[in-house]
Amino acid sequence: MSHSLPVGRFKNSKFGSDDDIEAMARAFDKADGVKCIFSDPEIPYYIQFGSMSDMDKEFGISGGSFAVEGPQVAEFFEPAVQDIIDGVKDQCDRAKDGTPIKILLLVGGFARSEYLYRRLNDHFRTGDIVVFRPDATHLYKAVAEGAVSYYLDHYVTTRVARLSYGVMTRHLFNDKNPEHLDRESTKLTQANGKSYIPGIFDTILIKDTEVSEEMQFRHPHRFILTRGQFATWTSISTRLKCYRGRAATPPKWVDLEPGLFDDACTIQADMSHIKSSMKLQKNGTKLFYKLDLEMVIGLGLTELKAYATWQENGEEMRCVSLGGFILFYPPHRLNGDLELTRLLFTTES
C-alpha cells in the first residue's frame, strides 16, 4: 500500500503522524494483513494498525482499524500485476527455439496473495500457461532457501544478461560523417584541443549474452584534463548505464531513444595517489593530462559487478562495485588477497 493513501486520508486526524502512517503500511503488508488476504474487490477490507482504544470516528478509525474499499485495494495491486504479466510475456517472446512456457511458478511472500494468484491464473489461462503456487503456507521462505541452495550446490553455472550495459562516451568529430554533422551543435572541445561529439552509448555487454561466473567484459575509457582541472583533481567518476529498450542491440546514439537509458551504478575511485606519476601531454600548443582505464563488467554471480581498472607502475589497479556499493582497493597487485580499505560511493540503480 502506498503511504500516500493514509497520508492524504488521515492528514488532519490524530493518527496522522509519520509513525502512525508507517504502522498502517506495515499492517497492510504483514502476513495476515490485507495484502495477503485480499481476494474480492467487491467487499471492503479492514486494516488493523493500532489497539482497541485507538478511535477517531470522524476519520473512520474505530478500534485501531479503518476500512478500505475493495476497488481501491485492487488499484494497489494493479501495477505489480501488470509488471508480472509483462515480464512473463517478455520471457515467452524471448524463449529459445520457440519453446513454449507452460508453467508459471509463484514463490516468495507476495505469492501468498489470493488476489494476485487469481488475477494471474485468469489472465494466463487463455494462453495455456498454468499458474502454480507450491506450498502456499511457506512461500516466504523461498528466497532464503534459494540462497542456501545456491551456496551449497552452486547449481547455476551461467546467467543471461537481462539488459545491455555500457558507458556514455564521445567520438572525435568527423566532418565527413553525416551522423556527426547532424549533431554538430553538441560538439565539445577538450583539453587536448580536439573536438568531440558526445551522446554515444558504447555497449560493453549485450542483452541475452550467456555469462559464466568468471567471464569479464572490458571496454576502454579515457579522461582528459586541463592543467587547471588536474590541479584540483583527486578522483575519477563514471556511470555504468543500462539500455531498457526492446531492440536486440542498443542504438549507438542515445538521442534516438532518450528515455530508455538508465544509470545502473556510479563507479568512483580515489586517484590522488597516482597524480605524481601522470605526465603532462602536448598537442600543438595545448597542454593536458590524460588517464586511460577500462570499464569491466561481470554478471556471473547473483549480482552485477562493475569496476574500473588502470595501469599504475605496470600493475593493474581497480575500484569495485559489489552488492550495491562502490568499493576501492588500495594500490596492491590483483593476483593475491587484497584488503578492503575504503567505501567510496553507493549505486544509483
Please tell me the distance from the alpha carbon of residue 345 to that of residue 270, in angstroms, as a whole number: 11
Whole-Å CA distances, 313 to 42, 215, 299, 309: 71, 26, 29, 13
Report residue 244: phi and psi, to 5°.
Answer: -105, 10
Residue whose cell numbers read 500485476 = 81
Whole-Å CA distances, 293 to 49, 187, 276, 317: 54, 23, 17, 9
pTM, full prediction: 0.53
Cβ-proximal residues to 257 (8 Å cutoff; 6+ apart), any chain: 243, 245, 247, 251
Cβ-proximal residues to 35 (8 Å cutoff; 6+ apart), any chain: 1, 28, 29, 110, 113
Whole-Å CA distances, 15 to 24, 53, 348: 10, 12, 34
By the 8 A CB rule, do 216 and 290 touch?
Answer: no
By the 8 A CB rule, do 202 and 166 touch?
Answer: yes
Please tell me the distance from the alpha carbon of residue 121 to that of residue 128, in angstroms, as a whole number: 10
Can you list the residues of the chain whose pLDDT is less than 50? 321-349
Q: What is the pLDDT of residue 291?
A: 83
By the 8 A CB rule, do 331 and 317 touch?
Answer: yes
Please tell me the distance from the alpha carbon of residue 77 to that of residue 133, in angstroms, as a whole number: 18
Residue 331 CA, distance from chain mean position? 29
Domain-wise residue ranges, the chain: 1-68, 88-155, 159-318
Phi-psi domain of 284 (left: phi exceeds 0; alpha: psi -120 through 50; beta: other) = left
Nearest Cα residue to 165 out of 242, 239, 238, 219:
242
Nearest Cα residue to 198 out of 206, 208, 190:
190
Whole-Å CA distances, 82 to 79, 85, 112, 115: 5, 5, 17, 13
Please tell me the distance from the alpha carbon of residue 270 to that of residue 52, in angstroms, as a whole number: 56
Please tell me the distance from the alpha carbon of residue 209 to that of residue 206, in angstroms, as a whole number: 6
Cβ-proximal residues to 139 (8 Å cutoff; 6+ apart), any chain: 106, 107, 108, 109, 111, 112, 133
- Give 130: exposed, middle or buried? Use CB within 10 Å, 0-12, 13-18, 19+: exposed
